[in-house]
Each structure stands twice: as C-alpha cells, then as structure tokens.
Structure 1
Amino acid sequence: MPRIDVAIPNYNYGRFLRGCVESVQNQDVADLRILIIDNASTDDSAIIAREIAASDPRVELCLNTINLGAHASFNRAIDWAESDYFTIVCSDDWLPMGSLRKSVSALDRYPDANLVFGETMFIEDGKSLDHARGTMTSTEQYITGGDFLYSFCETGRSPVRGPMTVVRTAVQKRLGYYRPDLPHTDDMEMWMRFAAAGAVVKLDDVQSIVRIHGANQSAILQNVHHWNVESEAAFEAFFRDHGASLADADLMLRKARRSLSDRAYWCAVSHFLRGDPGVRELINYAIRLHPMSALLPPIGYLWRRPDLISRVKQLFGGRRIADATGSI
C-alpha cells in the first residue's frame, strides 16, 4: 500500500497545476498516490489534469461537472484517502524536494503523533521557484496535543503558518470532515481537533511554498478585524463540538477570546497612530470579547511577545507592523 496520499484540489489554476503536481511526483517517497480534484474549472485545468494522469499511473482524477465548492473537494479527498498518511496540497502551491519524506519519517518515528507541520515559504506570483528549496535540516520538535492546543488559545491564532500539514489517515477519518461554515479558518479548526487527539511534530524545514496572488483564498480577508472574526468562529466551533468534552475547555475558550481581544486592542492603537481606518471597529471588538479592556490596556499581551522592543519602536514610529494575516 502507498505510504502517503496527496490530494490536489483545483479551480481555474491550470497555469499552476502542472508545476504543483510535478513537485509532488518528484518527491523522494517510494510509494504515493495523487488525486487531482477539479471543481468544474472554466480554464484548461481538466485538459492538463488528463494529460498528467495519462503519463503517470499514480495520478487519479475526480473532475466535477459542477462547482461543488472547496469544502466538497477537501472532504472528497478524505473519503478517497486510504494510505498510512494523507495531505492536501493546493494547486497553486509547490513542494520543495524532500518535504514529504521528512514528514513521513517524523510520523514514523513518533507513533503517538498524528500531524506534522513545517515552515512555509511565501513567494510572489511570477517569481522563480529555482531558489525555493527546503533547508532539510534534521531539527524537529515533538509537541504534546495539549501544548499544541494551548498555543492556539494563548496567541489567538494557529501555530501552523501555512495551509499544509501531513496527517495520519486513520485519525483524519475518525475526526471527520472540514466545516463549510468556516470558509477561511476551517484548517485551523481541524488542526485543533488533531491537537485534542494526540501529539504533533514541528519541522524546522520548509514544508511547502505558497504563491501570493490576488486569487488566494486568504486575500479575500482584507484586514485584521476580519481575521479575528474568522478565528473566533473557529474557536467557538471547536469548543462547542469536538473540544467540548476537554477538561479545561471553558478556560481555554476564555483564553482564546482574551487573546483575540488583546490583539484587536493593540491593532487599534497601531491603526490610530498611523492614521489608518478601522480603529473603532477593532476597539469595539476588543471590548466585546473582554469588557475590562475598556478600562485597562492589555499590557500583558505586549510583554508576551518575543519581539517586544522592535514592535514598540515600530508602533510609535508609525511604521506598519503586520504579519501575513494583517495582525500586530
């Protein structure tokens, strides 16, 4: 049986599809299967997919005749998977050589770990991928599920800084499908489910490469307030359903809300000092989640940041300070 199944959902990314599939085909993993799921693309994606499958027996196709939405593709992939390990690679992304081998090897070494993730390299569309290679170091970190889940709640965001993880297929099937009601943070909620189910492994290597272009799903969210709202929805959904039976579920949900509130507060300060719009929206959101922030600034949030000094200098220097989600 193949060691890993790789699903590649696609919609109108024919210009990226061949390169994405080739980056998977060229992985140094002895046995793998690939499923291209095309969601009724209107470009030449289906033609390209058929050409790829005709030349490689490892490639299977699921070519939808109507657009069923992204979550239908993700969940179709879960139904299809049957190997030891499983991952979803977006068709506009690319895997550096050795990415899958390192992930599979890590899960082999830690039988109680169900998920492995690494670093993500972001490059602008049109830039050459020739230099985009993983470091392929041997450094890895074993993280208990409880600590991994705590890191979500402590920061109010996912510690996985990209769209890709490799998971144990049997556990994925047990945990179920991605939630269509979380269009932007469905992966975050899924990874919290994995945290509740067992340990994870973090690799210091570049596991995937993400192209930045105007059609990225994350590009639809325009500012930090939208990201906060979507992240809050993921926390609420997880602790209402899969995480409801955890012993300290209420405490962790309160911590997550507080983290989102604190981030919104300091983003409002940053926006105000730069003269950017959205200050009132951010402050109202912060107070809704943590009413005391109307009286006492959440200084603790800044003290917990490892880059405190540089952030404060940038903040009061009026410079823009944001990560990939627009957050302070």
Structure 2
Amino acid sequence: MVVPCYNYGHFLPDCVQGVLRQDGVDVDVLIVDDCSPDGSAAVARQLAEADPRVRVIEHSVNAGHIATYNEGLAAVDGDYVVLLSADDLVTPGSFQRATALLEAHPEVGMVHGFTRTFTDQPPPARTEVKSWTLWPGAEWIARVCRSGGNPVATPEVMLRNDTMRKLGGYDKRAPHAGDFLMWLRAAALGGIGRLNGVDQAYYRVHGKNMHTQQFAGADTDLRGRYQAFEIFFDEDAGGVPDAGALRTAAALAVAREALAIACSLYEAGPSSDDKALAARLVALAEEIYPPAASSRLRQRYGRLAQREAEGKGPLVPRRVSAFNKRVRHHVAWRRWRRSGVESTVKLP
C-alpha cells in the first residue's frame, strides 16, 4: 500500500488506520512524504513508530506527484498494490473483496469498484458484493474509447504488483491524466475486474483539490484525457483490435464532451469566465476532432452564444434546462454505478 502525502498530515492517521484495519489480508503501508511544510513527515513517523507495518520515505526536496507515486510503487513488494492519497480512505473489507476477485481470476490484472465522495465524515459504506464483472482487456478499452470518459477513480483500484512492474509506474508526460493512462495500459496487459454493488473507497472533496467546481479546469481535464489516449495508441495499443477506429472514437467522444460542457455553460447563464472556458472547450473539440466543427452540438453552441450576445438567453428556460440536466446526470450516474463505464455524450 502506497500513501503519497503532501500537506495532508492531518488526514494521514485516518487514512492509514483504515488500511491497517483491513480484515482477511496482510497489509503494509509505505508513506511517501513529498517535503510537506505542514509537518506531515512527523505525523508519518509517529504512525510508523506505533505500528511496524508502516514505513516512511521523506523527501528533502519536493519532487512532484508523479515522481512521488513512482518512488513509492517501485519500493513495495507485495502481491498486490494500491495507491491511496493521504486525504482519501478505503472502506472496511475493501482489500479482501478485491483480492478475492484477483485470486479467482489470474487473467485479471486490475480490479476496481465504486468510490463515494465526502467532505467531512464519510457516509456508511455498502460492503456486500452483489456480483463481479470481468472484461477482457481489449473489450474494456473499446468501451472506454467509445465513452471517452475515465470510469475509474484512483482510490478503489488494486493492481497485481507484477502488472505494475510491467507498466513501470506513472507517465510524467501525462500529469493530469496519469491514472487514466495507467488503466488503459493495464487493460492492454490483461483483464479488468469490477466489484458491483459495493463501495470500495472514499474520495474526499475539499477546497484544496480540483473538483470543487463542476466545470473548473474542464479544458485541462479533457485535454489531459485526450493526451492519454494519444500516448496509449502511439505506444501501447499494438495488440488491440481495431485500434485505429477506437482512436478516432475516443477523439470524437472527448470532443463531444467538450462541446456538451460548452453548451451547458451557456444554458446556465455564463459569467465572463464561463464564456472564456466555453470558447477554449470549443477550440479543443475542433482541434482534436475537426469534423466537430460542423456537428449539431457545435451549431447549438453557436446559437446559444449568439442569443447570449443579443441578450436573449437560451431558447429553453434555464430552470427547465437545469432540471433536464439533473435528470440526465442522475441517469448517467446510475448507469455508471451499475456498469462501471460512463455514457457517451450523444449529439442532440
């Protein structure tokens, strides 16, 4: 178990204790503190002194998150490995459930489940597995390419250590989507498993991470995701059937999402910052998938922008658009929670 930490010392005890309390498995924890100025290293040392299963690596100079991840992953030698940020948590029984699938299916190199979000106190976790879903790696890659989304959050992932060794860690060329690139590469090496109907981890939402606003950084996120697809298809997709078609499908899906978000920003009544973000998203869509320039979503965006410029507002009242958007989001969320693969944004 690798716990990278930067300025999250006040979260470390809960994070580490949640790992040490995992039943049915032997665990050890490696905390890698990336020269935190908040005293995180001292907290880590206290945890190591209290339990011999905890080790600490302290950086004297800040190395950044990718280097920190990779140093930790290279230093662990168990059969399975989990990377857990110091501000996140695993649920009771998470490791036993994941290892049960991996031990039953040696063809699977990576297993994930469902991650719940929280701010202060995590909600009660579902701990009874309803079923397993197993995908051959190529099938999982195809599903992800057609959706364009990353259906896997980092906290709930468990990898075989020999798979991680073959992957070689996180790619520094993809600082904003390194985990996504990792999942694609893992699927190129073996099957992907999913635990259904159970909560495997908690992701903490707070003011210091990048998910505090619904669309903040959307252009960076989407460009990073597209970049991960491009690196994967350039270097790792030699054995993937129909790789060329899937590469095009991935670019189309990311472009659609960029245009859909741009339209949503105008439907909600855009601020000047929203308008600037929408323009960047449209430019990104047309850059990565040029036919997007003549798509119905692009035309819709043009109409919305024109009406806003004329002071007319959207054709559909904003309260109706907001309601419809909530319904679509809920349906898509339930589908993702059930299937583990996000929906493609459809052209209207």
1:265 has 2:287 as partner: no
> d(CA) in 1 for partners of 2:83 and 2:278?
37
Residue 200 of structure 2: aligned partner: 207
Cα drift, residue 260 of structure 1 = 0.9
Contact 1:119 1:162 in 2 (8 A): no
Unaligned runs of 5+ residues in structure 1 are: 1-5, 300-312
Residue 232 of structure 1: aligned partner: 226
Contact 1:122 1:209 in 2 (8 A): yes
Which of 55, 61, 68 aligns to 2:63? It is 68
CA 1:296/1:41 → structure 2, altered by over 3 Å: closer, same or farther? closer
Which of 125, 129, 139 aligns to 1:137? It is 129
- Higher mean alpha-carbon deviation, 158-167 vs 18-27, is at 158-167
- Structure-1-length-normalised TM-score: 0.86
Residue 83 of structure 1: aligned partner: 78
The one-letter amino acid of 2:22's match is Q
Contact 2:133 2:195 in 1 (8 A): yes
Contact 2:138 2:241 in 1 (8 A): no
> d(CA) in 1 for partners of 2:254 and 2:263?
14
Residue 16 of structure 1: aligned partner: 11
Residue 318 of structure 1: aligned partner: 321
Q: SS at the partner of 2:82? A: strand
Contact 1:163 1:187 in 2 (8 A): no
**Identity of aligned pairs, percent?**
27
1:24-46 per-residue CA deviation (whole Å, 9 max, x = no partner) reads 00000331111111111111211
Cα drift, residue 162 of structure 1 = 4.5
1:38 has 2:30 as partner: no
Cα drift, residue 128 of structure 1 = 2.1
Unaligned runs of 5+ residues in structure 2 are: 299-315, 334-341
1:289 has 2:283 as partner: no
Q: How does 1:157-176 map to 2 (within 5 A)?
A: 157-176=149-168
Cα drift, residue 316 of structure 1 = 8.1
Residue 117 of structure 2: aligned partner: 122
> d(CA) in 2 for partners of 1:243 and 1:166?
22
1:91-142 per-residue CA deviation (whole Å, 9 max, x = no partner) reads 0001110001100111001110000001000011xx223x332332242111
Cα drift, residue 256 of structure 1 = 0.4
1:299-321 per-residue CA deviation (whole Å, 9 max, x = no partner) reads 9xxxxxxxxxxxxx998823165
Contact 1:238 1:244 in 2 (8 A): no
Cα drift, residue 251 of structure 1 = 1.6
The one-letter amino acid of 1:171's match is T
- Higher mean alpha-carbon deviation, 55-64 vs 221-230, is at 221-230
Would you say how many aligned residue pairs link Structure 1 and Structure 2? 306
> d(CA) in 1 for partners of 2:130 and 2:245?
36
1:186 has 2:185 as partner: no
Whose helix fraction is larger, Structure 1's or Structure 2's? 2
- Structure-2-length-normalised TM-score: 0.81
Residue 142 of structure 2: aligned partner: 150
Cα drift, residue 272 of structure 1 = 2.4
Q: SS at the partner of 1:37? A: strand
> d(CA) in 1 for partners of 2:41 and 2:206?
22
Cα drift, residue 153 of structure 1 = 0.6
Contact 1:99 1:134 in 2 (8 A): no
1:107 has 2:99 as partner: no
The one-letter amino acid of 2:121's match is S
CA 1:76/1:29 → structure 2, altered by over 3 Å: closer, same or farther? farther
Contact 2:20 2:28 in 1 (8 A): no
> d(CA) in 1 for partners of 2:188 and 2:175?
22
- Higher mean alpha-carbon deviation, 240-249 vs 54-63, is at 240-249
CA 1:315/1:177 → structure 2, altered by over 3 Å: closer, same or farther? farther
1:253-274 per-residue CA deviation (whole Å, 9 max, x = no partner) reads 1110010111122222222222
